[in-house]
Amino acid sequence: MEVSLENSSSKTGKHAIRSLIFTIEGNNIREFKEYKIQKKEKGTYIKGEKLVISIPDKGTFVHLIFVKNIYNKVKGKVYVYKDGKVVLELNYRKLKLKAVRGDTSYAEYVKSVFEMLKIPLKRVNLKIGG
């Protein structure tokens, strides 16, 4: 499965995008670094780069994508992959996580990754639908 990891910022530093991927093995959570780089691409912003990597089809992964805007507000997307498929998609905005689609039982992995990275969370909304 191919995913993109990006770490880039604008020339002024007021805009930035950062993405990380973590692997989960039982209760052990660690950053996934044993990936194979498929290709390097131009990043969204001037400084930095974007890598398209391949992750194994077996295992559970948490993919975080955060974008900082001119007002220092951070928005993001969180994807949980299980055996090569997206099993949960969440939005991060105003210090809150909201489930968009998928199986919400995987949200505990996301909460523990946020706790490990010390990313602030006020609330987690796991209700899907509208």
DSSP string, 62-79: EEEEEEE-TTS-EEEEEE
CB atoms within 10 A of CB 103: 12
- The tens place of each residue's pLDDT in the chain, 130 residues long, gives 999 999 999 999 999 999 999 999 988 999 999 888 999 999 999 999 999 999 999 999 999 999 999 999 999 999 999 999 999 999 999 999 999 999 999 999 999 999 999 999 999 999 986 5
**Stated length of the chain:** 130
Domain boundaries, the chain: 2-125
CA–CA dist 13, 47 (Å, integer): 9
Contact in structure between 35 and 22 (CB atoms under 8 Å): no
